[in-house]
Amino acid sequence: MSSPFLHSGRTVTRLMFGVVVALLPGLAASIYWQGWGVLWQIALALAAAVACESVALRLRRLPLAFTLKDGSVIVLALLLALAMPPLAPWWLSLCATGFAVLLAKHAFGGLGQNPFNPAMAGIVFALLCFPRQMNEWPALTVPALTVAGSIDALHAVLDGRPIDALSGATLLEHTRGEARRMVMVSEMAGAPVFGAIGGRGQEWINLAFLIGGLYLVVQRIVSWRIPCGVLAGVALAATVLYGVDDERYFPAPLHLFSGATMLGAFFVATDPVTAATTPRGQLWYGFGVGVLIVAARCWGRYPDGVAIAVILMNALAPLLDRWTRPVRFGEK
Amino acid sequence: FAGLRDASGLRLISGGPMMGTVVHDPAAPITKTSNCLLLVPAEAQPRPRPCIRCGACDRACPMRLQARALHDCVRATDFDRAQDLHLFDCIECGCCAYVCPSAIPLVQYYRHAKGVIEGLDRDHAKALAAAARFARHGSRRRNAPISGGAELLDLPGSRAALRADIEAALARRDERR
């Protein structure tokens, strides 16, 4: 028995619960704009993640109830499900979750030891193996949130064939296709995919994630440096590109409020296990994620690049920690 | 202690909740440096979980040490690197362990590492002293004259002289009889 004899009471379980609470506004907005498919994806991912985690813990002979209670696997499943297309077929969801929990998390030693964000590793895995399914997003009309709609969505998920009326292109995909046909940015304006600031619908989802993310920062569950770095990186990279050629690249607000920018900035990049830990390292880490998001969107093979950007910066995080070692008290 | 008869289920702490030490026997006296005695329910410390690298300990440290990196070093028994990270500047205030969401007893790790390093340093100092002593001994032997051994034997107090003294004493005893 050794000092201190007190504890703050902020446990891993409570931090993870805070993250889940902070995800709720974004979750509600996602359901409102993307339909019941989001909920089905979450149910699938949660069940699969808890099952995989239990198997892994049993194999590793770790205490089951105590370890499951840390809540990390629930956050993993939620992030993964929110990053999946809502109408992705069920087997894709299961593959991504299984890869995330078994290979990206437990093969490296479980909570605290994984070098790459498991949820994003699962997404990248699915993106590399099944790019077509990963890029089918529901249409931008507000889906009817009725019981019949939920059953339709369930059918779409279970049959693995999205209903045509429901599927469509998001802003990032649409503009990508247009750009390939050499349509100028100024000519694209007015297309139905654009909203007030970002992609139609997506801007509100992003705003909701921003609100949840601010709650995380105010509660000091995540450090403010990483999201600030990400947003600054996205804004700066997008502004520079837009300044270089405003007919090929989009302005910063559009990047900030489309795709998974806010989800990535506040919930994914801030995963403490895989991010940089020193104060300056966190700023640089976030900045790198932001720049890479824009780079992946503009020059990458896939419409959105949050998962790829986060995975790449995860690999750099230990180096950033080493380079940005803080000075101790009283040291010049 | 304050009329305490039965200390079962209670814990007596000398020196405050953050940096104090457990007093195992209530009969132990207080000294000039005792500033506070606490009697608290003996709760078990929360069960530690794996470190999630959140950096709360780094932010809490008043010496601005890298508590998390130090913890990693100690766990890996990499004591050289722990010293590079200024382990001995740790004042064991307990702030890191207080904020740790995984309830890792960080101070315990640091104290353990300091003890091990001090033990290693003592062993190292002893070994250095022995090496110096051995070197001095060797140089004394090398510098001694080669014929010195025989002369030493004839000196008063040498073995032969002692033996002669003993013989003489024995002879005197026999005469008295």
Closest CA to A268 of A26, A4, A7: A26
Q: How many CA atoms within 13 Å lie on the side-chain side of A8?
A: 20
* Residue in A176, A85, A91, A175 with CA at minimum distance from that of residue A137: A85
In tens, the pLDDT along A223-241 reads: 899 999 999 999 999 999 9
Sequence-distant contacts of B145-154: CB under 8 A, at least 24 apart: none
- The pLDDT of A15-25, averaged and rounded, is 94
How many angstroms separate the Cα of A113 from the Cα of each of A110, A129, A210, B2, B102? 6, 25, 28, 49, 14
B40 phi and psi, to 5 degrees? -130, 160
Q: Please tell me the predicted confidence (pLDDT) of residue A301.
A: 77
Chain A residues in contact with B47 (beta carbon < 8 A): 66
The verdict on whether omega for the bond into residue B62 sits within 30 degrees of 0, i.e. cis, is no
- Average per-residue pLDDT for chain A: 84
- Angle at which helix A37-59 crosses helix A12-34, to 10 degrees, equals 150
pLDDT-derived band of residue B154, with 50, 70 and 90 as boundaries? low
Signed CA dihedral, B123, B128, B134, B137: sign only: negative
Per-residue pLDDT, A72: 92
Q: Do B46 and A111 make contact, defined as CB atoms within 8 angstroms?
A: no
Of the candidate ranges A31-45, A172-186, A193-207, B78-92, the one whose mean pLDDT is the lowest: A172-186
* List of chain B residues whose C-beta atoms are within 8 Å of the C-beta of residue A12: 49, 52, 101-102
CA distance B102 to A112: 10
| Whole-number percent of chain B with pLDDT over 90 | 44
Which of A3, A113, A223 minimises the CB distance to B20? A3
Q: What is the ipTM of this complex?
A: 0.79
pLDDT of A5 strictly over 50: yes
Residue A158 is predicted with a pLDDT of 67
- Given an 8 Å threshold on Cβ–Cβ distance, is A278 in contact with B66? yes
- pLDDT cut 70: percent of chain A above it: 80
Q: What is chain A's length? A: 332
Which chain B residues are within 8 Å of A278, Cβ to Cβ?
55, 58, 66
Quick check: B107 and A14 CB within 8 A? no
Say yes or no: A251 contacts chain B, CB-CB below 8 A. no
Q: What is the mean pLDDT of chain B?
A: 85
pLDDT digit string (tens) for A260-304?
Answer: 899 999 999 999 999 999 999 999 999 999 999 999 888 887 777
Residue B38 has pLDDT above 70, yes or no: yes
Q: How far is residue A318's CA from residue A327's CA, in Å, rounded to a whole number?
A: 17
pLDDT digits 0-9 by tens, B49-93: 999 998 899 999 999 999 999 999 999 999 999 998 999 999 999
Neighbouring-strand partners of residue A114: none
| pLDDT top residue among A184 and B94 | B94
Domain ranges within chain A, ordered by starting residue: 10-168
Of all residues in chain A, what percent carry a pLDDT higher than 90? Answer: 46
